[in-house]
Structure 1
Amino acid sequence: MGKRSRFWDLIARRYARMPVRDEESYREKLAITRSYLQPDWDVLEIGCGTGTTALGHAPHVRRFRAVDSSPKMIEICREKAAAAPTENIAFDCADFDEIDQPVGSLDAVLAMSILHLLEDPDAALARIHAMLRPGGMFFSSTTCIADIDNAIARYLLPAAAALRLVPRMTQLGRAELHRRIEAAGFEVLRDWQPGDDPAKAVFIVARKPAP
């Protein structure tokens, strides 16, 4: 595990106690995602954090695998799972580019609040596309730093990342994110940013076209 994992390990317990910043939008994303999920699906979530989203979706599918590079985050996930046992979910500690997932083996992949934290989002999107079966679904929620026009986004976050106080964020914009997802071979079905507020994450529902 790398430097990013150590950052998330340090803040994991505090992060787990933090309330959801925009509860209404979060609930809407859950509802939209569940409207697509099927009971015979195999699903993967990358960058699962403390596991709340994974545990919420697992009862609606056949198998749910959730991975995160932070051992402390996965520890919290497993504590939550033990408190509310769900037989069809597995939490694994691994970097996304290290996990063993066969090509064409998944019906859906979730990447919630993670694409902007990856060093190579395009490589991740290509791998996600390969993992999905034809017709498989991709759900993502991404902070588009490039669209936020304030001093924090422009100066403070890059400076803090250079000092290793926060993870480095890829400077994505909403239009560029949309383009990159399509360039990876996906068909974008929904592109939603609550209130069209640049400070809020962009939620995208995309599909791997069937032949």
Structure 2
Amino acid sequence: MSIASDARFWNRASRKYAMGAIADQAGYERTLDQTRALLGSGDRVLELGCGTGTTALRLAGDVQDYLATDISAGMIAIANEKHAAGPIPALVFRTATAEALTPDAAQFSAVLGFNYLHLVRDLPGTLRRIHALLAAKGLFISKTPCVGDMNPLIRFALLPAMRAIGKAPYAGVFRAADLSQQICAAGFDILATESHATKRNDNRPYIVARKR
């Protein structure tokens, strides 16, 4: 499998994904509220792995600029359909990955990665690129499934079997403690780690980190 195969998987899944319900709506709303409180009206925000744009459409109206990206052109097409129905001037959707974006003088105040980091193939490299894309003291805000903390049956049986038949994408296996260590090693200080799950422990820590 490769990054290209990952994009093809999400392209195939995009319409079904768009119709799916949020499993923990209350937990999702808490994540939005916490994130919104950390963003300012003058901020330039980058969202990685934006999917069909649900989060971007909820947050972009509160900041100066919001670039929402995803590896899947199919996901971005659906996001643009939603955006056309209720345009937000600050918001732009683009098919891209963190690695495809070039750091420049107009760096981002905040980078968001929700349900994203476990899907990248080079976690240390992606975290270093996120660090480079941020302005001084910029924030990296993530909420990521830590597959290494999940039931061993999921890790060692169900997930590999589903990947083998094309029913699941690539997913990196790491624990929450490992993720925190990797984020710090990439040049960040972790300011907060929270659980926003309201139904059960879903092993998705919400982490707020600041660029050193």
Q: Quick check: 1:191–1:203 contact (8 Å CA) kept in 2?
A: yes
Give the SS at the match of 1:2. Answer: helix
Could you tell me which residue of structure 1 aligns to residue 150 of structure 2?
A: 148
**1:203 pairs with 2:202:** no
Match of 2:74 among 51, 67, 72: 72
Partner of 1:192: 194
Q: How many residues align?
A: 209
Aligned 8 A contact 1:147 1:198 in 2: no
Gaps of 5+ in 1: none
Tell me by how many angstroms 1:168 deviates. 1.5
Unaligned 5+ segments in structure 2 are none
Q: Secondary structure of the equivalent of 2:138?
A: strand
Q: Cα gap change, 1:179/1:75 in structure 2, threshold over 3 Å: closer, same or farther?
A: same
Q: CA RMSD in A?
A: 1.7
1:111 matches 2:113? yes
Shift of 1:177: 0.6
Deviation, structure 1 residue 103: 5.8
State how far apart, in whole Å, the 2-side matches of 1:187 and 1:85 are.
Answer: 35
Q: Secondary structure at the match of 1:139?
A: strand
State the 1:185 CA deviation.
1.1
Q: Which amino acid aligns with 1:89?
A: L
Counterpart Cα distance in 2 of 1:177 and 1:198: 17
- Residues 168-187 of structure 1 mapped to structure 2, 5 A cutoff: 168-187=170-189
Residue 101 of structure 2 is matched in structure 1 by: 99
Distance 2:105 2:160 in 1: 36
TM-score when scaled to structure 2?
0.93
Whole-angstrom CA distance in 1 between matches of 2:156 and 2:180? 21
How far, CA to CA, are the matches of 1:84 and 1:139 in structure 2? 26
Match of 1:17 in 2: 19
1:122 is aligned to: 124
- Determine the C-alpha separation between the residues in 2 that align with 1:192 and 1:97: 27
One-letter code aligned to 1:207: R
- Report the Cα distance in structure 1 between the residues aligned to 2:60 and 2:196, rounded to whole angstroms: 25
Q: For residues 201 and 151 of structure 2, what CA distance do their matches in structure 1 show?
A: 8
Identical-residue share of aligned pairs (%)? 37
Question: What's the offset of the Cα at 1:97?
Answer: 1.2
| 3-state SS, counterpart of residue 184 of structure 2 | helix
Ranked by relative contact order (alpha carbons within 8 Å, sequence separation 6 or more), the top structure is: 2
> Does 2:53 match 1:51?
yes
Letter in 2 for 1:144: C
Looking at structure 1, the residues matched to 99 and 35 of structure 2 have their Cα atoms a distance apart, in angstroms, of: 24
